[in-house]
Structure 1
Amino acid sequence: MATRAGRRVAARRTWKVAIRGRSFCFVDAVHVGGPDELATLLAPVRRAGTVLRETVRPLRLSEIGTLCEEPC
């Protein structure tokens, strides 16, 4: 069974291959509203290119610092 750390390493290798020689960006966002409104707001961003990692999910206020992997 793969460990969490092992899956992260494998994912990083996949990203490196996918973005090698290409332009890319990371988008961090916080939205205080409903999921339908959020989907509408993010639609243009998602259409801009290939999404390599989707991390949109509901968060508690105490978890917001994890968006940029910063401590709370």
Structure 2
Amino acid sequence: MVSTSANRSGEESPRCVQDIPLPIREKVDLIVDEGRCKYGVESTIIDVSAGDAKLVRKGALSWEEIAQILG
């Protein structure tokens, strides 16, 4: 399971591992730490389960930027 964010609903999104509330950190098996988030907004979520990419939630990148990456 992969999470799009590590905060409870309504709370500020963490920008680094140390910002993730300890109770959440203690309940996961692995945290991939890529350093401080440079965008400070929630993750973009893309659904590709049906074959075509569908934007579920807009994040820092525009749909045009994502479409270029996906080809």
TM-score when normalising by structure 2: 0.30
- Give the structure with the larger strand fraction: 2
Structure with the greater alpha carbon radius of gyration:
1
Q: Normalising by structure 1, what TM-score?
A: 0.30
